[in-house]
Structure formats: C-alpha cells, structure tokens
Structure 1
Amino acid sequence: MKTQVIFNSDLHFEHQTWKSELFFWKDELRSFENRLEELVERWTDKDVLARLEHFQNEFILQEGRIDEFLEGIEQHEARIAGTSMAGEDSMDAVMVKKHLEFREEMETQRDMFRELKKEFFSFLTERL
C-alpha cells in the first residue's frame, strides 16, 4: 500500500481558498437580503410575501452554515499550526481524513448554495 503525504501548506492553501469562497457567499447573501427588503416593501400579495419569507429563512440558514464552516476552518488551522510548531510538515491520517470529509461537506454546501441562488433568481424573474 502506497503512503501519500499531504503537507500542511497544501491544506492551508485549500483552507484559504475555501475562506475566500465563503466570504464571497456572505457578500452575496447581503446583496440578496437587500433585494428582499426592496421586494417586501413593493409587494402585498400573501403568496409572494410567503416566498420572500422562505428566502429570508434560507439566507439566514446559509449564513449560519457559512459561519460554521469558517469556524471549522479556523479550528483545523489551529491544529495545523500545532503540528507545524512541533516540527511536523504533514498531518496524521486522522486529521487528513477529517480534512477530506470537510472537503466533501464544502462540495455539498457549494451545490446547495448554487441551487438556492438558482431558485432565488428564478423567483425574481417570475415576479419582476
């Protein structure tokens, strides 16, 4: 069985990439929330307002999930720093496994966020 070494610098790079993406999503959510505020003032139809409330709730959930991801990244970065201070350039198998699981969660989150945006833009197209 071949052993593959994953270096801390590679994990750190991926974390930085994820953080940039997550902060971008936060900015997008602020923009979406601003748009919702405009629409709430414009519409009185109960069905439309219910859909707007649905999106507001989804945006709140997404923001919370983004914060969880950012916190998880910071925790993993602290572990990487600990191993680096101990003179190790790579993580143990358990931490690499956690990182790979986190990567899968990011992929899932990316898909969920993309679907929410698609749904929101479709709604905007219908109503505007």
Structure 2
Amino acid sequence: MKKDVLENASMHFEHEQWKGELAFWKDELKFFNSKLSELVSRWTNKDVLAQLEHYQNEFILHGGVIQDLQETIDKHETRIAGQSKTGEDALDIHLTKEHVAFRNKIETQRHIYSELKKEFFRFLEKYM
C-alpha cells in the first residue's frame, strides 16, 4: 500500500501556489464587489436587488473562507519553518496528513468558487 509522504519543500511549494491563488481570488472579489455597487445604483427592482444581496453575501462568505485558508497555510508554514530550524527535515506524518486534507479542501473550494463565478457572470450578462 502506497502512503502519502510529502517533504517539507514540496509542501512549501504547494503552499506558495495556493497563496498566489488565494491572493488572486481576493482581487477578483474586489472587482465583483465593485460590479455589485454599480448594479445597486442602477436597479430598483426588488428581485434584482435580492439577487445582488445574495451575491454580496456569497462574496462575504468566500472572503472569510479565503482568510481561513490563508491562516491555515501560515500555520503549516510556521511548523515547517520550525522543523527546518532544528535541522529536522524529517517527515512529519501528522503534518503530511493535514496537508493532504487541506489540499482536498482547497480543491473543493476551487470548485465552489468557480461555480459562483459562472453564476455571477451570467447574472452580469443579464443585468449590466
């Protein structure tokens, strides 16, 4: 049976990729929120305003998720740095398991966010 074993350098590299992706998502959210502001000033229709509020709430939630994911990455990086300082590049099985679980969490969030963006772009096409 093959076990998931990751070296600290590999985990660090993946963390850096994820941090870049999360920073990009944060920038996208700024753009999406500016579009919401534009639309709020244009529409008085209650149905449209309700949809705008829905997207605003979704973007707030997603912003919170981004923050949580960034904090988790930072905690992992601190543990990796601690091992590196002590000269122990030994594999931390617990950290490896956490990393694999976190990778799954990122992939799930990537899918959720992608679907939200598709929905929002369809909404923009209709109401911009």
TM-score between both structures, scaled by the size of structure 1: 0.95
Distance 1:45 1:81 in 2: 54
- Identity rate of aligned residues, in percent? 56
Distance 1:62 1:90 in 2: 35
Distance 1:121 1:82 in 2: 43
Structure 1 segments (4+ residues) deviating >4 Å: 1-5
Counterpart residue type for residue 27 of structure 1:
D
Question: What is the match of residue 10 of structure 1?
Answer: 10
Question: What is the match of residue 59 of structure 1?
Answer: 59
Q: How far did residue 94 of structure 1 move?
A: 1.0
Residue deviations 1:22-79, cap 9 Å, x none?
A: 0000000000000000000000000000000000000000000000000000000000
Counterpart residue type for residue 105 of structure 1:
K
Q: How far did residue 90 of structure 1 move?
A: 3.8
Q: Following superposition of structure 1 onto structure 2, how do residues 1-128 of structure 1 map, counting pairs within 5 Å?
A: 5-128=5-128
Q: 1:64 to 1:108 in 2, by over 3 A?
A: same
Counterpart residue type for residue 87 of structure 1:
G
Q: 1:126 to 1:86 in 2, by over 3 A?
A: same
Q: 1:127 to 1:83 in 2, by over 3 A?
A: same
Gaps of 5+ in 2: none
Aligned-residue Cα RMSD (Å) equals 1.3
Distance 1:69 1:30 in 2: 18
* Secondary structure in 1 matching 2:44: coil
Q: 1:126 to 1:84 in 2, by over 3 A?
A: same
Distance 1:3 1:41 in 2: 55
Gaps of 5+ in 1: none
* Secondary structure in 2 matching 1:10: helix
Distance 2:56 2:77 in 1: 32
* Secondary structure in 2 matching 1:117: helix
